[in-house]
Structure 1
Amino acid sequence: MSNLFDAQVIAELKEIMGDDIDFLLETFAADSRVKIKELSVVIEEKNAEDIRRVAHSIKGSSKNVGAKALADLCETLEQQAREGKLEESNELLAQIVDMLELTLKSLSEQF
């Protein structure tokens, strides 16, 4: 399943959610896109605390659906914001956007 996902989380979701998994993934996709727009704004504002908060939120929802690579990128951004290191924020945002789209495509193919 590659390093994009946590295979155990994906297996548990399939077992627990059954046919309802489509709703979960649609909600994840919509929420993540809204949060990424918010992340873009707070990065532009150079607001470290808000960057940390939004990155943390995306990380949590990503972990819930087994999107390990996306969660890892968000964790990196969250940690850098916590430390006040915002120099790489725009680059990480671009990576997060790309990884979200790759993740959503892969999830839609799996389910």
Structure 2
Amino acid sequence: MSDRQLIDHETLLTLQEVMEDDFGHLIDTYLNDSEDRLTAMQKALASGDGEALRRAAHSFKGSCSNIGAQTLVAHCQHIEQAAANNQLVGLETTLVTLQGEFGQVRHQLVVYQ
């Protein structure tokens, strides 16, 4: 695991203050939904469905932005734009990178659960 911080902890602390007791539920929901979105992105890319890939990347991008995971946002934005232009070749590498970094984000979020 990398020691590199992939989430903005100030964003999370602000969310924690606002959400209070519901914050843990927010993190759990983000993690569970993220797995579903990553799976949807994999399936869409494997089937060559650029529009489904674009939608899944856009949705995941919003969730990542909400928790301050800007590196993930950048990867999602790249995938979303490429899929919108039906340029799917080479996105496998970006998706693998996205999945690996999501694993690191998951690890970093453990302290907030």
C-alpha spacing 1:82/1:38, structure 2 compared with 1 (3 Å): same
Match 1:59 to one of 55, 58, 61: 61
Give the percent of matched residue pairs that are identical in Structure 1 and Structure 2.
28
- What TM-score does the superposition give when structure 2 sets the normalisation length? 0.87
Give the 3-state SS of the residue equivalent to 1:61 in structure 2: helix
Mind listing any 5+ residue stretches in structure 2 that lack a counterpart?
none
Q: Which residue of 2 aligns with 1:109?
A: 111
Match 2:14 to one of 12, 15, 39: 12
Q: Which residue of 2 aligns with 1:92?
A: 94
* CA RMSD between the two structures: 1.5
Q: Deviations over 1:46-90 (max 9, x none)?
A: 111111110000001111111111111111110111122111211
CA distance in 2, matches of 1:3, 1:72: 15
CA distance in 2, matches of 1:65, 1:7: 9
Paired residues, what number?
A: 110
Q: Which residue of 2 aligns with 1:45?
A: 47
The question of whether the paired residues in 2 share the 8 Å contact of 1:3 and 1:68 is answered with no
Give how far 1:3 is off: 5.3
Q: Which residue of 2 aligns with 1:29?
A: 31
Note the 1:78-89 alignment, pairs <5 A. Answer: 78-89=80-91
Give how far 1:11 is off: 2.8
CA distance in 2, matches of 1:79, 1:8: 28
CA distance in 2, matches of 1:30, 1:11: 20
